Amino acid sequence: IIRVQSPEGVKRITATKRETVATFLKKVAKEFGFRNNGFSVYTNRNRTGEITASQNKSLNLLKIKHGDMLFLYPSSPAGSSSETMDTSVSQGLRPVGAPQVVEDEIDQYLIKQDGKIYRNRDQQLCRHGPLGKCVHCVPLEPFDEDYLNHLEPPVKHMSFHAYIRKLTGGADKGKFVALENISCKIKSGCEGHPPWPEGICTKCQPSAITLNRQKYRHVDNIMFENHTIADRFLDFWRKTGNQHLGYLYGRYTEHKDIPLGIRAEVAAIYEPPQIGTQNSLEILEDPKAEVVDEIAAKLGLRKVGWIFTDLVSEDTRKGTVRYSRNKDTYYLSAEECITAGNFQNQQPNICRLSPDGHFGSKFVTVVATGGPDNQVHFEGYQVSNQCMALVRDECLLPCRDAPELGYAKESSSEQYVPDVFYKDIDKFGNEITQLARPLPVEYLIIDDRFFFFLLFPLLPGISSTEVAAIKNPTPFSDSADQV
């Protein structure tokens, strides 16, 4: 891997020792977006030791080896042609090596917001006039954990943009901040040994993963525009008793209850081809998926999440359902976490601070299940970025007999899997590190606990015209964080 530094930043080019200089320079041009030879590459920062294209010279002959830094300078004057790289940063801070991307509208809006938490003058503690400020009334940063923990209910996950403000709030203003996506795969291009399983080294071996509670979440609130949306979705279960699944279409807006928060507003539910039974769901291939996305885009909507039912009638005379998902069982099963991780990987969050141009996902998971009052409740979740990486690189499996447990795969001759650990408390109160075989899935879940839930009639056969009065939206408790 050869590092190439330019006015835009540093990029890594994969090459071999025997590769010709001409081939290497073509890779550089493609990586930096040059269509012609509008640049020069030097071995030294002061523009000495120019590397010229040659079909006869190899990188090894020029003594260019793994980890070396080369320096690229555009040949054209700034702004004279389309071949010149744009070195300006139009929206916020951009780290070295990060590509120029167009973020979602809500992200562009929140970048421009102040985000600070303004407080009124404290009548008891403040000793200054109405125009003064002190430590008791000065505005707080949006990532102030003490303030978030004292909200009602407490906020244990700051918003993603508050997390970015925390990273970019130091003396360097986030100049060197980069949100790296986790990789569980062996790095390609390592020539010092045979490929896996015959060989591996510290340069290409992925690091071990220790699962931690994610400090932020990409979506802080999920809300239906009206009760009819969810009511129609529940009609299938009312009539058949079988479970059902749908995709949530809506938009992302500002959630003002949390500093720099994001809300997923659901405007419609699309039900794809599927096979549902009383205890299982199978998603079939959907030939209309692209058409649905195009129609939604013309209406100003996009796919923001997915929803599924897990409802079992408990008393048909009272119209109640079984309360099965709680801190004593699970909130999402391992199989559901893997499915959610797969969906989130398909819908990445565009991010200017990531060298890959994306980081995490705003795609949400909603479960229609029985609540503690034996009525239908809607609960919102996401899985962590660590879970997304494990799912993307096929390192996580469900346990057949224990839905609340996942299992980190073991390395085989076909695939190397890094060790996955999680921290637990033993019977003596000591913190210990456990190998994730098996793994409690609560380490992978982020609870969007400000989801506004609605109550519906439950008895199969009740029509939508007989819906009881909908209660006022109320935030449900931070159940997943109590595990």
Beta bridge partner(s), residue 321: 313
Judge whether 2-74 and 209-482 match in fold. no
Torsional sign, CA 314, 318, 321, 322: negative
Torsional sign, CA 9, 15, 17, 19: negative
Q: Are 395 and 218 in contact (CB under 8 A)?
A: no
Which residue, among 402, 405, 404, 408, has the nearest Cα to 389 in the 3D structure? 408
Q: Are 272 and 246 in contact (CB under 8 A)?
A: yes
For residue 425, the SS3 value is strand
Amino acid at 256: K
pLDDT tens for residues 339-378? 999 999 999 999 988 888 899 999 999 999 998 998 899 9
Rounded (10°) angle between helices 334-346 and 385-392: 90
Q: Are 159 and 261 in contact (CB under 8 A)?
A: yes
> Dihedrals φ, ψ of 420, to 5°?
-120, 130
Lowest average pLDDT, out of 14-23, 53-62, 126-135, 177-186, goes to: 53-62
For residue 75, the SS3 value is coil
User: Exposure of 172 by Cβ count < 10 A (0-12 exposed, 13-18 middle, 19+ buried)?
Assistant: exposed
Specify the pLDDT at position 244.
94
Above 60 in pLDDT, residue 13? yes
pLDDT tens for residues 456-476? 444 444 433 333 333 333 333
Q: In the chain, what are the domain boundaries?
A: 2-74, 209-482
**Both tokens of residue 189?**
């291009």
Please give the Cα distance from 150 to 231 (Å, whole number). Answer: 35
Determine the CATH number of domain 209-482. Answer: 3.40.140.10
Highest mean pLDDT (candidates 226-230, 333-337, 474-478): 333-337
Please give the Cα distance from 4 to 224 (Å, whole number). Answer: 48
318-330 mean pLDDT: 88
Above 60 in pLDDT, residue 125? yes
Above 60 in pLDDT, residue 148? yes
378-405 mean pLDDT: 92
399-406 mean pLDDT: 91
Strands of 39-42's sheet, edge to edge? 9-13, 2-6, 69-74, 39-42, 50-51
Q: In which band, very low, low, confident or very high, does the pLDDT at 94 lie, cut at 50, 70 and 90? A: low
**Domain 2-74 coded CATH 3.40.190.10:** no
- Count other Cβ atoms within 10 Å, centred on residue 395: 24
Tell me the C-alpha to C-alpha distance, in Å, between residue 107 and each of 71, 111, 167, 254, 362: 33, 6, 16, 9, 11
pLDDT tens for residues 257-290? 889 999 999 999 999 999 999 989 999 999 999 9
DSSP for 192-223 reads SSPPTTS---TTTSPPPEEE---SEES--EEE
Q: In which band, very low, low, confident or very high, does the pLDDT at 391 lie, cut at 50, 70 and 90? A: very high
Specify the pLDDT at position 174.
62
Helix (H) / strand (E) containing 240: helix 227-240
